[in-house]
A and B are shown apart, each in its own frame.
Chain A
């Protein structure tokens, strides 16, 4: 199975900050990497698919990049409503696997 390692596990930042979340795969996943946002009590919400494609309706402050085994989600200017846990997800190989999440907090 491909292991997805996210860092940091908790991130505290101020409103307006540029925030970077990391995801590392245990092997090459050929950019088949999605990012999800999960707020408390809600289902995950797709933000970015296939590394750098913004899902319809998602604010442009969210962006993704990466290749091979290393991927990044960037929030250009953190907003209060961005408080959530963020998961990466690889769909290159079976079984599909998720990262353990980064909990994003506001300072």
Chain B
């Protein structure tokens, strides 16, 4: 069955970067684009962008264009998102999703604190 396994929680300092992962299994990794979504504590969901694992092509929400970088490693069926120049506003749960949002990872909690 389709599974998306995300990396564990991260505690990072303001100004630092964080790179989180999303390992896919149960399907052909290059057949479906991977989306990333942010959920701030107690709030709604924001679409960050997507990456096409086959071509490496990306599409970002303008709001996150200077903040997020999406990459993939086809050899390990893993997608990555790096978030840079972190502030307290970036503290949130980050999800990856595939199959046009039918399948979601369990989320990675990022806490930005000095």
**What is A's interface to B at a CB cutoff of 8 Å?**
34, 36, 43-46, 49, 55, 87, 89, 91, 94-101
9 shortest interchain CB distances as A-B pairs: A43-B104, A95-B61, A98-B45, A96-B47, A100-B44, A46-B102, A98-B44, A95-B47, A101-B44
CB < 8 Å: which of B43, B47, B100, B104 contacts A44? B104
Interface residue count for B (Cβ, 8 Å)?
Answer: 18
CB-CB nearest in chain B for A56? B102
Pair A87/B44 contact, Cβ less than 8 Å: yes
Chain B residues with a Cβ under 8 A of chain A: 35, 43-47, 59, 61-63, 95, 100-102, 104-107
Q: If the complex has contacts A43-B106, A87-B44, A101-B44, are A95 and B62 also in contact, measured as CB distance less than 8 A?
A: yes
Contact B102 A49 (CB under 8 A): yes
Give Cα distance in the complex from A46 to B106, angstroms: 14
Give Cα distance in the complex from A45 to B102, angstroms.
7
Contacts of A49 in B (CB 8 A): 100, 102
9 A-B pairs with CB atoms under 8 Å apart are: A43-B95, A43-B106, A44-B95, A45-B104, A91-B100, A95-B61, A97-B47, A98-B46, A100-B43
| CA A55 to CA B104, docked complex, whole Å | 14
A45 to B106, CA, bound (A): 11
Having A55-B102, A89-B101, one finds 18 other A-B pairs with CB under 8 Å, namely A43-B104, A44-B45, A44-B104, A46-B101, A87-B44, A87-B45, A89-B45, A91-B101, A94-B61, A95-B61, A95-B62, A96-B47, A96-B61, A97-B47, A98-B44, A99-B44, A100-B44, A101-B44
